[in-house]
């Protein structure tokens, strides 16, 4: 990887599996672990925990712990994380325009 290339450095942040989907979900606002787990079909709790920790360490999201019984933890995007929302929005537009049409053009399996 070229450490001087902004595209390479950004790809290093966003190309981790599940990362953009976590950002997509947190773009709507704060979420709890169980809410993210439900939204991200197929992610294991361990993988979600690892991704959330990595994104927190990278300054993409922040974790807020509330002193309640049982303890409540919520995740939210930081300013650095919110700056990635346009990338997710562009991917959504691309998928709707280019990939949905491709899917519609593929004949259904008999």
Per residue in 59-78, pLDDT (tens digit) is 999 999 999 988 899 999 99
pLDDT value at position 13?
Answer: 83
Identify whether the C-beta of residue 24 lies closer than 8 Å to the C-beta of residue 13: no
Does position 48 have pLDDT exceeding 50, yes or no?
A: yes
What's the predicted TM-score (pTM) here?
0.83
Please give the Cα distance from 88 to 68 (Å, whole number).
Answer: 33
Please give the Cα distance from 3 to 63 (Å, whole number).
Answer: 28
Please give the Cα distance from 47 to 51 (Å, whole number).
Answer: 6
pLDDT bucket at 4, cuts 50 / 70 / 90: confident
Tell me the average pLDDT across 19-39: 96
């Amino acid at each position: 990887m070229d450490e001087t290339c902004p595209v390479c450095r950004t790809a290093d942040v966003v190309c981790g599996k599940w990362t953009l989907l976590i950002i997509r979900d947190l773009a709507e606002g704060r979420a709890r672990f169980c809410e993210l787990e439900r939204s991200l079909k197929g992610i294991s709790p361990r993988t979600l925990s690892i991704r959330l920790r990595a994104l927190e360490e990278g300054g993409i999201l922040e974790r807020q712990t509330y002193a309640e019984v049982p303890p409540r933890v919520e995740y939210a995007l930081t300013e650095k994380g919110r700056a990635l929302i346009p990338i997710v929005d562009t991917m959504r537009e691309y998928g709707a325009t280019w990939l949905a049409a491709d899917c519609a053009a593929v004949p259904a399996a008999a």
